[in-house]
Amino acid sequence: VHLNRKNLSGITSGVKVPEYSPDNLKPSIVHIGLGHFHRAHQAVYLDDLLNLGSGNAGIFEINTIPDGTGLAEKLAGQDNLYTLISRDAGGAEEVRVIGSILGYLSAPDNREAAIARMASAETEIISLTVTEKGYYYDTVTEDLSREHPDIVHDITNPREPKTVIAYIAASLKLRSETNKKPVTIMSCDNFPSNGKILKKCILSFCETAYPDLIPWIESNTAFPSSMVDRITPATTEADVQYLESAYGIKDALPVCCEDFRQWVLEDNFKSAVPDLAKAGVEIVPDVEPYELMKIRLLNGSHSALSYLAYLLGYREVAPAMGDPLLKTFIRNFYMEEITATLQDIPGTDFRVYKDTLISRFTNTNIGDHILRLTLDGSKKIPNAVLLPLEETLRQGRRCNAILLALAGWARFLEGTDEAGVPIPVEDCGRDTVMAAAASARRDPEGFLRAIGVHGIGADEMRSISGIFKDYLEKLHRDGTRRTLADFTGVPD
Ligand code: NAD
């Protein structure tokens, strides 16, 4: 059957469908960044809550960059419904139709309507999953990237925004002039202190674009930080076909993900927020220890493994992690160096957390791609890898596994693999990091500085650039397999 509201009753009995009517929902959440992750995470928690009969909060979706995949037509064609397929490592799968999305607007084609929707009195929460680069945050200056052409454009033309930052600012301006209702702005992207950084970027933008608005923002908005987790690869044509052949559902927008999920949210709201705790969201006073654990162990390990795995010839994550060389390197060396930089979390045993991560990474039932993990390393690595590296150095500990992982990234950024085949490097800072990688063997310190290692002394820099250079030379001389075998002691 073609997925839509009329056909829900005809869907096979093994598939869970919404037990609530979308007609009774209010669009009290506006979400920016309708990608795969949001559909596997926040929209699912909301769907759970609605199935429990708790509240009537639905989600109105906005994308601020042109989509190009016909998302609006696809969603409208199936009454905003879509199917979620989650699979555990044992092969069990759960299939359910999610009904918490109420509508969608592509902001570049409907600028005024998008801003009005965000500013509406009905909107209690504005949430985001727009990838790290969508924030235009410079980790070196610790401020909005004011020199970025998109931000320069938006500061000059605040009423014709391109960036999420300017859209939110324009909506706050309108809100402050109309209904004046407080609002919660909730980042669900993968980087530490995401709420604080979002607030900083918005305030920094407003300093120039709307200076009079700042006091209103200070007293009428909250920016809770969050830790979000569920491995969600991009949907493939094979997934679409599988859903139809196995379950008889024709859905243009299914999402496949792992069974695991976690959402830890800072208890910091300024508006009426659904009772997310009922759906399993952990609401805590301080998210930071959870963010550090998740970003450094999960995302950092993803980065550490992806470049080396690509060089070893792997294209999917599960088979790569099934290779004893990589698995030992990540579990017994990389993760151990990282753990020393974490803060204790009562009730959380890091050993169990790491073992669970390894079994999630080796879940052969979700086809997660190595290239997805390699995307935008220049944005992800500073938080996930370099901050723990600097902390490890401050503690006077060994950081060889971290340095080998960085050498793997530098080797990847050289742009050709061990057989001389070009590597598809996709990175928003591609030119800078590739140029630094091209001269990294000659100038290892230059590479480390270019990627953002800056909070350490000259002696430490000399020492780590020596080790980094030795690994990079060894990757060239002996290849990735031999280098990992010598490092881990696992026979290759
Ligand atoms: P995706 O490619 O499916 O979707 C990306 C979304 O971000 C799209 O809606 C796109 O419009 C928007 N976007 C991208 N660049 C933007 C920009 N510069 N400005 C405004 N919007 C922009 O990716 P996804 O899997 O949904 O991941 C999105 C984010 O979610 C990640 O970057 C991460 O922060 C977070 N996340 C993802 C996962 C995962 O496993 N996929 C897990 C945890 C957290």
Q: How far apart are the CA of 37 and the centre of ligand 1, in A?
A: 7
Q: How far apart are the CA of 134 and the centre of ligand 1, in A?
A: 9
Is the distance from the beta carbon of residue 227 to the nearest atom of ligand 1 less than 6 Å?
Answer: no
Q: How far apart are the CA of 227 and the centre of ligand 1, in A?
A: 15
Q: Which atom of ligand 1 is least distant from the CA of 257?
A: 40
Is the distance from the beta carbon of residue 63 to the nearest atom of ligand 1 less than 6 Å?
Answer: yes
- Residues forming beta bridges with residue 187, ordered by sequence position: 128
Is the distance from the beta carbon of residue 164 to the nearest atom of ligand 1 less than 6 Å?
Answer: yes
Q: What 3-state DSSP class applies to 79?
A: coil
For ligand 1, atom 41: residue with the closest CA? 232
Is the distance from the beta carbon of residue 194 to the nearest atom of ligand 1 less than 6 Å?
Answer: no
Q: How far apart are the CA of 12 and the centre of ligand 1, in A?
A: 31
Is the distance from the beta carbon of residue 35 to the nearest atom of ligand 1 less than 6 Å?
Answer: yes
Q: How far apart are the CA of 313 and the centre of ligand 1, in A?
A: 26
Q: What 3-state DSSP class applies to 94?
A: strand
Q: Tokens 């925004």, residue?
A: 161
Query: What is the pLDDT at residue 12?
Result: 85
Residue 465: band (very low, low, confident or very high) from pLDDT cuts 50, 70, 90: very high
For ligand 1, atom 39: residue with the closest CA? 232
CA-based max dimension of the chain: 69
CA–CA distance, 62 with 33 (Å, rounded to integer): 6
Average pLDDT score over residue span 186-192: 96
CA–CA distance, 185 with 223 (Å, rounded to integer): 5
Please state the length of the chain. Answer: 492
Average pLDDT score over residue span 250-265: 98
CA–CA distance, 272 with 224 (Å, rounded to integer): 14
Q: What is the pLDDT of residues 300-346, one digit of tens each?
A: 999 999 999 999 999 999 999 999 999 999 999 999 999 999 999 99
Q: What is residue 461's DSSP assignment?
A: H
Mean pLDDT of the chain: 97
Q: What is the pLDDT of residues 336-395, one digit of tens each?
A: 999 999 999 999 999 999 999 999 999 999 999 999 999 999 999 999 999 999 999 999
Q: Which atom of ligand 1 is least distant from the CA of 34?
A: 9
CA angle 491, 467, 416 (to 5 degrees): 70
Sequence-ordered list of residues with C-beta below 8 angstroms from that of 212, at least 6 positions apart, any chain: none
CA–CA distance, 19 with 48 (Å, rounded to integer): 10
Which residue from 365, 364, 238, 347 is spatially nearest to 290, judged by alpha carbons? 347
Is the distance from the beta carbon of residue 151 to the nearest atom of ligand 1 less than 6 Å?
Answer: no
Is the distance from the beta carbon of residue 64 to the nearest atom of ligand 1 less than 6 Å?
Answer: yes
Is the distance from the beta carbon of residue 136 to the nearest atom of ligand 1 less than 6 Å?
Answer: no
DSSP 3-state percent helix, strand, coil across the chain (nearest 5): 50, 15, 35
Average pLDDT score over residue span 127-143: 95
For ligand 1, atom 31: residue with the closest CA? 131
Residue 451: band (very low, low, confident or very high) from pLDDT cuts 50, 70, 90: very high
Query: What is the pLDDT at residue 140?
Result: 83
Site to probe by mutation for ligand 1, drawn from 131, 163, 255, 427 as the one with most ligand atoms within 8 Å of Cβ, is 131
Q: What is residue 210's DSSP assignment?
A: -
Q: How far apart are the CA of 385 and the centre of ligand 1, in A?
A: 20
Query: What is the pLDDT at residue 139?
Result: 86
Q: How far apart are the CA of 418 and the centre of ligand 1, in A?
A: 31
CATH number, span 288-488: 1.10.1040.10
For ligand 1, atom 13: residue with the closest CA? 130
CATH number, span 8-284: 3.40.50.720
CA–CA distance, 97 with 88 (Å, rounded to integer): 18
Is the distance from the beta carbon of residue 135 to the nearest atom of ligand 1 less than 6 Å?
Answer: no
CA–CA distance, 180 with 188 (Å, rounded to integer): 25
Alpha carbon separation from 211 to 120, 202, 221 (Å, rounded): 22, 11, 16
> What are the boundaries of each domain within the chain?
8-284, 288-488
For ligand 1, atom 14: residue with the closest CA? 130
CA–CA distance, 19 with 23 (Å, rounded to integer): 12
Same topology for domains 8-284 and 288-488, yes or no? no
- What is the percent of the chain where pLDDT is above 70? 100
Is the distance from the beta carbon of residue 133 to the nearest atom of ligand 1 less than 6 Å?
Answer: yes
Q: What is the pLDDT of residues 64-97, one digit of tens each?
A: 999 999 999 999 999 999 999 999 999 999 999 9
Site to probe by mutation for ligand 1, drawn from 130, 297, 301, 361 as the one with most ligand atoms within 8 Å of Cβ, is 130
pLDDT > 90? residue 455:
no
283: left (phi over 0), alpha (psi -120 to 50) or beta: beta
Average pLDDT score over residue span 127-151: 95
Which residue from 135, 142, 129, 114 is spatially nearest to 42, judged by alpha carbons? 129
Site to probe by mutation for ligand 1, drawn from 129, 198, 201, 255 as the one with most ligand atoms within 8 Å of Cβ, is 129
- What is the percent of the chain where pLDDT is above 90? 98
Is the distance from the beta carbon of residue 232 to the nearest atom of ligand 1 less than 6 Å?
Answer: yes
